[in-house]
Amino acid sequence: MKNLLIIIIGLIIISSCEGAKKKYELPILGRMQVKDTVINGEKVKDTIYHTIADFQFVDQDSNFVTNETFDGQVYVADFFFTTCPTICPKMKQQMLRVYSAYKNNPEVGILSHTIDPKHDTVAVLHDFADKLGVETNKWHFVTGDQDEIYDLGEESYMIVAAEDNENPEISGGYIHSGAFLLVDQERRIRGVYDGTRPEQVDILINDIKRLISKKAQDENS
């Protein structure tokens, strides 16, 4: 009887935890400011969240890619280069899982920025995407001005993207974060995940679903 009671209590705790997970709302990451705003003559506190800055790059099909490309979408961003000898191959295999999970969902996009635009031309990125077997309208591989890419990475996505002059024989000449960044429909970062770890990408895939569901609930409320 005592053992049965322990099992029942355990099931209740597990159930409660699962319920908390379902109700859990993803945080809004990054810097934020609280400003006084006057609405209908009344002073209220207005929170301004960190958002991804305006950008314009070119993808593997020579199309311009901007913030508007992902208008109304949730998207996952990362930084890589095609000749990367270290973490990039693992990252791309894991991002393929995200691609496969949401390939037919128009509310989700993927954005991969090369940090080696001198080598990773449109033609190189096109060949890279072809080898992965992905469609441009879902997964954009973009190139552009190197400084703009680095600045966007460091200032907007808050990740490392730089040339490596100390150990280029190991790193391939560049260092960058292995993070996958989940961006919501309002350009806000809602999650950061290790793109080399399958269990982290499992969480990302689930969090994307959560963001889409949250948007639908807000629209219907």
Domain-located, residue 10 = no
Stretch 1-6: mean pLDDT, rounded? Answer: 38
d(CA 62, CA 144): 11
Query: How many domains does one find in the chain?
Result: 1
| pLDDT in the model for residue 14 | 36
The mean pLDDT value of the chain amounts to 85
Domain of residue 164 covers 52-220
Q: What is the pTM of this model?
A: 0.82
- The C-alpha torsion from 217 through 191 and 144 to 162, rounded to 10°, is 170
Domain-located, residue 118 = yes
Given a cut of 60, whether residue 6 has pLDDT beyond it is no
Query: CATH number of the domain that 195 lies in?
Result: 3.40.30.10
| pLDDT in the model for residue 2 | 41
Domain-located, residue 57 = yes
d(CA 63, CA 60): 7
Domain-located, residue 26 = no
Domain-located, residue 42 = no
d(CA 202, CA 200): 5
For residue 216, name the pLDDT band (cuts at 50, 70, 90). Answer: low
pLDDT, tens digit (0-9, with 9 covering 90-100), for 135-174: 999 999 999 999 999 999 999 999 988 776 776 666 566 7
Domain-located, residue 32 = no
Strands 108-114 and 74-80: parallel
Stretch 178-186: mean pLDDT, rounded? Answer: 97
| pLDDT in the model for residue 64 | 98
Q: What is the DSSP string of 168-201?
A: HHHHSSEEE--EEEEE-TTS-EEEEEETT-HHHH
pLDDT, tens digit (0-9, with 9 covering 90-100), for 65-100: 999 999 999 999 999 999 998 899 999 999 999 999
Domain-located, residue 43 = no
More confident residue, 34 or 212: 212
Domain-located, residue 114 = yes
